[in-house]
Amino acid sequence: MQKNHAQHAHPLPDGDSQEIPEATPSLSARAMALPAYLDDLNGPQQEAVTELDGPVLVLAGAGTGKTRVLTTRIAHILNSGRARPEQILAVTFTNRAAREMKSRIGSLIGGQVEGMPWLGTFHAISARILRRHAELVDLTPSFTILDTDDQIRLLKQLLEAENIDPKLYPARQLAAHIDNWKNRGLLPDKVQGGEAFVFAEGRGANLYAQYQARLKDLNAADFGDLLLECLRLFQENQTVLSEYQDRLRYMLVDEYQDTNVAQYLWLRLLAQGGGNICCVGDDDQSIYGWRGAEVGNILRFERDFPGAKVVRLEENYRSTGHILGAASALIAHNSERLGKTLHTTGDDGEKVRLQGCWDDEEEARAICEDIEQLQRQGHTLNEIAILVRASFQMRAFEDRFVTLGLPYRVIGGPRFYERQEIRDATAYFEATLNPANDLKFERIVNTPRRGLGDATLNIIHTHARAHAIPVMQAARTLVETEELKPSQRRSLTDLLAQFDRWRAMVETMPHTQLAELILDESGYTTMWQNDKSPKAASRLDNLKELIRVMEEYDSLAGFLEHVSLVMDRDGDNGEDMINLMTLHSAKGLEFDSVFLPGWEDGLLPHQRSLDDTGSAGLEEERRLAHVGLTRAKAYAKITFAQNRRTHGLWQPAIPSRFIDELPEGDVQVEDPANQNGSYGVSRFDSEQSAFSGDYGTPGWQRARARKAQGSAPGGPPTLELKAIDTLSSADTDFKVGERIFHQKFGYGAIERIDGNKLTVEFEKAGQKKVVDSFVVRH
DNA sequence: TTCAATCGTCTTTTT
DNA sequence: GACGATTGAA
């Protein structure tokens, strides 16, 4: 079954072993150590593990032992003394994959993996590098990492300052453009030609440049920057690049088909050092084209890395013959592929089942029936998964699970740290540690409600921008003046005092205790306790969970670094539950039994994918279907509904074109009529559904009417000609006795100057303290 | 400033 | 149909 080539006597070039003699084990140790982990590998797998010199591309089909090859290769590099742990770069896309790799290397070499600092996600590794050389990219080592909320908030501010109508040009859209540019490794000045003129009448690239400048002001980087700035660091500093090229002697890349241009450039620069790069991927599992992944990277590998060795892993250890046959035949319809032929030596197993259903509810009922039957046959729920194309499909299943009392978990839903309450809480912590973090402060300044709304925030903001100082500092100045209403002044003063108090305790109080204190004293906990909505209770639970997780870190700062990059929820609490997730998040997982609902044209393949990217989109959807099928070890069932409710109205659906691409011999059609009998109530339900089908018409017409009406944008937005002087000045250049004008208080004369605080005798309003940025000379 | 009503949107998702 | 975001009134 497995061919053992001459692996044991594999060559070890003299030149290399000389450089790190202290790490080279004795010959006898090596001779004993090698076979142990190589013996279980098949020929190509062994080749992928032991081919240590020069670039290697491992084309690893689904279920062919990709992770095993990667981890064994690392163990092999370590074991053969070629490199020390800190000389190996191993990149993944997700923290989950990084964690798994770490633990599997650990079990291979016995014990824990210590000192592999360069094993992690692209983003985590880039962040690590950036912090060490922050000054070279105009940051400081303690720069903050923006989450998407912060990013949008910042862009909104930018658009407002530029008088761009947020209706016509939403911040999210700009964020998408910027993300897209960053994915392709483009800094603002590199955005070419017409593309620079997208968004807001040709201001796209300009806004991008402004955004980048603001990030530097804030000493912050967004996710895309982590890679892009790291790339710039390498490109502009040859000595830094050389340092890493020399240090990272072996490079391993997981899921290479998912790399975007920026990541590709990043890898290529580093690989130019020694060239010992090993990329593992599967072009047939490239499903992230829509967020910048370039299948081209894997298709071009041999050209990019001359002398590359390509190893194909085609023996599938996961699925039975029929499942593999169906999946292979399906993917064979794609034209843009490197081409692999998966095969298995295992049984044919059972055929892939196929069933049509009347509507999505019946689909959920049918699948739950099957699940209960599997359960009766002794299968555990943990080994059962339902993989949907779009998350709205989940609802029907969740409803059904709840009525039947079947336990289930949703994998890959909103991440723990992306939840509102977690972000609010961490914003409090962040603002406590780092008073210059404007975005975090602004996030919670009025949460819970403190009477500090948009109007107040705008005043603070104007002042902060005018003097180029952090928002919290601007607030500090303003509360000493009469610029704000007394109630707001009091409220803001209290908040600032609280932050000062908390900040003073950072060193003295254990960080978890301080965190709890902050949440209590700020009124944040109380806010949710008073909230009667059903979600409030779980939010409070999440906050407790957050504190619990914090115990694993030794300081608030240490925790915050991880929360932005590494933290994800661990849905796995060991209980026996059905797994429910999207096809995208199923990649890399496997289950005994897999249900694939919603194989309808328009859903899989998704209509929007077809509309946006045409045949390339169709191929990506087909890969998605292929990923779904290949998750199954022994049991796979495809279903489709003839009627599905989307956007609240019923729409007829036709079976996915992919269904007819499956080979007859591998598929067994289940008779819907037979199935109906066992439900008993199904016919009645169908009639109900048929009635509700007519429901759609008026609503649909209404929707049409609305659509026809809309899209008549008014003229260009009226420009408010109140130019805000954003020129900053260190100190005020007003003089005592000068006559000035203030928007709110009118005309007056300056009595006293105290930094940038002015005491003014106003003609109508009397004596007031104001800030210089709010008055103009008269 | 805040709350309530209305409007508009509705693939996939990591970091 | 449901959710979030935004707008308008108290």
Token pair of A215, please? 């990030």
Measured CA A607 to C1' B8 distance, in angstroms:
20
A567, A423 contact by CB (below 8 A): no
Q: How far is the CA of A394 from the C1' of C6 (A)?
A: 28
**HSE of A593, CA atoms in CB hemisphere, 13 A:** 21
Tally DSSP H helices, then E strands, for chain A. Answer: 30, 21
* DSSP of A94-135: SHHHHHHHHHHHHHHHSS-----TTEEEHHHHHHHHHHHTGG
The answer to whether the beta carbons of residues A482 and A495 sit under 8 Å apart is: no
The spacing between the Cα labelled CA in A647 and the C1' in B9, in angstroms, equals 9
Q: Nearest nucleotide, C1' to the C-alpha of A612?
A: B11
Closest C1' nucleotide to A451's CA: B1
- Which residues of A are identified as catalytic? 66-67, 254-255, 285, 631
Among protein residues, the one whose C-alpha sits closest to the C1' atom of B9 is A647
Residue with tokens 């004795």: A26
Q: How far is the CA of A450 from the C1' of B2 (A)?
A: 11
**C-alpha to C-alpha distance for A643 and A650, rounded to whole angstroms:** 6
State the Cα–Cα distance between residues A220 and A216, nearest whole angstrom: 6
Which residues fall inside 7 Å of strand B, measured at CB?
A 93-96, 121, 123-124, 148, 223-224, 290-291, 389-392, 412, 415, 418, 446, 449-457, 488, 565, 568, 581-582, 584-585, 606, 608-609, 612, 647-648, 706, 710
Instruction: Identify the three-state secondary structure at position A570.
Output: coil
Q: Output the distance from A480 CA to B1 C1' rounded to whole Å.
A: 22
In the 3-class helix/strand/coil scheme, how is A514-563 assigned residue by residue? HHHHHHHHCCHHHHHHHCCCCHHHHHHHHHHHHHHHHCCCCCHHHHHHHH
For chain A, the C-alpha Rg in angstroms (whole number) is 30
Length of chain A: 778
Angle at A397 between CA A393 and CA A400, to 5 degrees: 145
Q: Which residue is nearest to nucleotide C3 (CA to C1')?
A: A647
Amino acid at A156: K
Tokens found for residue A236: 């502009």
Distance A575 CA to C7 C1' (A): 46
List all residues 6 or more positions away from A464 whose beta carbon is below 8 Å from its beta carbon. Answer: A438, A470, A471, A473, A474
Q: How far is CA A69 from CA A9, A89, A459, A591, in A?
A: 19, 15, 59, 20
Question: C1' nearest to CA of A165: which nucleotide?
Answer: C6
Q: Which residue is nearest to nucleotide B10 (CA to C1')?
A: A647
Distance A29 CA to C6 C1' (A): 70
Q: Taking the C1' atom of C1, which residue's CA lies nearest?
A: A648
Q: CA(A166)–C1'(C7) in Å?
A: 14
Instruction: Give strand letter and number of the nucleotide nearest A454 (CA to C1').
Output: B1
One-letter identity of residue A423: R
Which nucleotide C1' is nearest A120 CA? B15
CB atoms within 10 A of CB A258: 27
In a 3-state reduction of DSSP, which class is residue A366?
A: helix
Q: What is the largest distance, in Å, between two alpha-carbon atoms of chain A?
A: 97
Handedness of CA A658, A660, A661, A665 (dihedral sign): positive
Report the nucleotide nearest the CA of residue A96, measured to C1'.
B14
Residue A69, pLDDT score = 94
- Which position has the token pair 């995208």? A584
Its sign, for the CA torsion A412, A417, A418, A420, is positive
CA–C1' nearest nucleotide, residue A167: C6
Q: Distance, angstroms, CA A634 to C1' B7?
A: 48
- Nearest-angstrom CA–CA distance, A599 and A164: 42
Q: What nucleotides of chain B have any atom within 7 angstroms of a protein Cβ?
A: 1-3, 8, 10-15
Nearest DNA or RNA nucleotide to A703 (CA to C1'): B8
How many Å from the N-terminal Cα to the C-terminal Cα in chain A?
92
d(CA A619, CA A585): 18
pLDDT, averaged per 10 consecutive residues of chain A (778 residues), comes to 35 34 51 66 90 91 92 91 92 89 84 80 94 94 86 84 78 86 90 78 85 91 93 95 93 94 94 88 91 86 89 94 94 87 89 92 92 94 93 87 87 77 89 89 88 85 87 91 88 94 94 94 88 78 87 87 69 79 91 95 87 85 94 95 82 90 93 46 33 30 30 28 31 85 89 89 90 86
The residues, ordered by sequence, that sit 6+ positions from A248 with a Cβ below 8 Å of its Cβ are: A87, A88, A89, A118, A270, A273
Q: In sequence order, what are the residues at sequence separation of 6 or more whose Cβ sits closer than 8 angstroms to the Cβ of residue A702?
A: none
CB A675 within 8 A of CB A366: yes
A35: left (phi over 0), alpha (psi -120 to 50) or beta: alpha
Residues with CB under 7 A from strand C: A 166-167, 645, 647-648
Tokens of A98: 């990084």
* Alpha carbons A123 and A588: distance in angstroms, whole number: 20
Nearest protein residue, CA measured to C1' of B2: A451
CA A147 to C1' B8 (Å) is 25
* A156 nearest nt, CA–C1': C5
> Cα separation of A269 and A731, whole Å?
46
Which nucleotide comes closest to A149 if you measure CA to C1'? B15
Q: Which nucleotide is nearest to A452 (CA to C1')?
A: B1
CA of A492, C1' of B8: distance in angstroms: 35
* The two structure tokens encoding residue A503: 């900040």
CA of A465 to C1' of C1 (A): 43
In angstroms, how far is C8 C1' from A454 CA? 16
CA–CA distance, A150 with A434 (Å, rounded to integer):
15
Bases along strand C below 7 A from a protein CB = 1-2, 6-7
Question: How many angstroms separate the CA atoms of A230 and A227, rounded?
Answer: 5
Dihedrals phi, psi of A131, to nearest 5 degrees: -65, -30
Q: Minimal CA–CA distance to A281: which of A98, A93, A451?
A: A93
Say how far A497 CA is from C5 C1', in Å.
Answer: 32
